[in-house]
Chain A
């Protein structure tokens, strides 16, 4: 199929449908309300279910119910709405259900703004709701990659019986880019008979719950979760390397929208002879700790920089990855302001000076 030009939010909806997700429960919130609008129009055409819930609290509990009933289901929201979904996220993770959730992150804290931000990194990768749990978190950087990640999210959620969270921002959700829905082959849904509430015909009853009155059983379950997360790290940690095969002196780490600005900055700096490249995490959980650490142990890498649209959240994982072997430079814009390539270039040039790197050859 030829590529078609599509707005990010609508492409997210269409990708879910192509992945066999025929149920969507959501609540409008800028800058991603177009997902719900698109689904309200498209799902009836394909025999699917669209419900506009009374709140994000209810929308997320509806996907808990639908996921428990064994169908592919998705909701989408933006930061303040995702906070309201924190309750359900914890229950979905604890009940080991495969739901897919998209958070189009906007400036915060509080009501914040509606423009791009990466301020929800901690909330996305460190849990977000109560208790010890993790979502598998994908952070695509383009509309095409968002489509591919949505389509991969369902089989990943089913593989781990765990919520998969995709995070993006208004830049990706509101921008139109060419997309090819055939780039990813959809995988059929795994059998749900062993756990889903489909009616107990010819089998023992299935119960979806997450209450352990015996602390030993609750602890055992937490140990099982640790094993699950280790498996994610071993089998489904994704990242992209940009210009890292040319003995760079500096590794820049950035994800999502920010990584696109950083890519431009690196392209320009390399023309001037600066030796640097980028590691772009695609999964924020599991995080590419091992790859970053390996890079820090090479002879040529002497500095790391992190660029984020937050006060510095992912940087904590980068510092942990490299065990603070080098000081990690940090630059950010916040509140809905996307860094410009020029200011990123200026920052990185200054970092080359500060860290005593060779920098430009001339």
Chain B
């Protein structure tokens, strides 16, 4: 019998704890597939965040370190600088990266750390129970914005890919989405390119993945994909914001 689909070698056999419809599983799998395809499992160190994906170190069959909330880019800097032969990536959500970890991500990008950052943007804090994130959409109801995000009080959502692309240090910055199979294939291509830039020692690489959180959004997965397309996509345009080849 011919095997046509199986668990990536870079994933453990552990069952994930994610809610039905959550896109973390898709993103995890893509990262693991790329590690397999590039043949770098034995030289990869992943840095886990705090948030829903805090337990990613149980699912990836590579060396892993967990980080305090928001500090993954600093931890990754420590690992990569002392062992530059390793492939080091962080996997972070929007509360982790765009709120408490804003300082660490901006400075890691600006130093041009040769690391890869996988940024999951689902416009809400997941693990703590659906609070407002820096990426929450205007008017979006969360447990700490019960009447919807009031931009007069909380400002507009932060667009990380745009923000990081303003830095003058060469880098690869891209935003993709996980709401359709087509976009998932595009996301994997972006992730592969991000890891390849790191392996070539070229630059810092950052892939923002628009994701859904049916549980905290309070709608079904199908409705969530529609909401992402109709509400998030107009504000968070997809595409490559910066490449190291840019003049």
Contact = CB atoms under 8 A, between A and B. Distances in A.
Interface string B73-107: 01111110111011000000000000000011011
Nearest to B57: A207
B82 A66 contact: yes
Nearest to A209: B66
Given A53-B74, A61-B75, A198 B63 contact: yes
A199 B43 contact: yes
B105 to A, nearest CB: 10
Nearest to A69: B79
Contact of A49 (B68, B76, B81, B111): B81
Contacts of B78: 25, 61-69, 73
Interface in B46-86: 47-48, 54-55, 57, 61-68, 71, 74-79, 81-83, 85-86
A197 interface: yes
Contacts of B111: 51
A207 B63 contact: yes
B45 interface: yes
A63 B42 CA distance: 23
Interface string A26-60: 00000000000000000000000101011101110
Contacts of A95: 66
A59 B78 CA distance: 9
A87 B100 CA distance: 13
Nearest to A62: B78
B242 interface: no
B44 interface: yes
B103 A205 contact: no
A51 B75 CA distance: 13
Contacts of B86: 69, 197-199
Nearest to B69: A87
B66 A208 contact: yes
Nearest to B43: A199
Contacts of A65: 47, 65, 67, 74-79
Given A58-B71, A65-B74, A71-B82, A200 B41 contact: yes
Contacts of A49: 81-82
A23 interface: yes
Contacts of A352: none
A55 B102 CA distance: 12
B103 A54 contact: yes
Majority-rule SS of B interface residues: helix
Given A57-B103, A58-B104, A69 B66 contact: no
Is the interface on chain A under 10, 10 to 19, 20 to 34, or 35 or more residues? 35 or more
A323 B124 CA distance: 54
A1 interface: no
Interface string A309-325: 00000000000000000
A91 interface: yes
A232 to B, nearest CB: 25
A51 B80 CA distance: 12
A91 B48 CA distance: 13
Residue from B48, B68, B85, B111 with most neighbouring chain A CB atoms (10 Å):
B68
A25 B75 CA distance: 11
Contacts of B79: 65-66, 68-69, 197
Given A57-B103, A58-B71, A23 B44 contact: no
A67 B45 CA distance: 13
Given A64-B75, A209-B48, A209-B57, A58 B103 contact: yes
B45 A199 contact: yes
17 contacts: A53-B74, A55-B103, A58-B107, A61-B68, A65-B77, A69-B83, A69-B86, A197-B64, A199-B43, A199-B44, A199-B83, A199-B86, A205-B61, A206-B63, A208-B65, A209-B48, A211-B54
Interface of B: 41-45, 47-48, 54-55, 57, 61-68, 71, 74-79, 81-83, 85-86, 103-104, 106-107, 111
Interface of A: 23, 25, 49, 51, 53-55, 57-59, 61-69, 71, 73, 87-88, 91, 95, 197-202, 205-211
Q: Which 6 A-B pairs have the closest CB atoms?
A: A65-B78, A61-B74, A65-B75, A62-B78, A66-B78, A209-B66
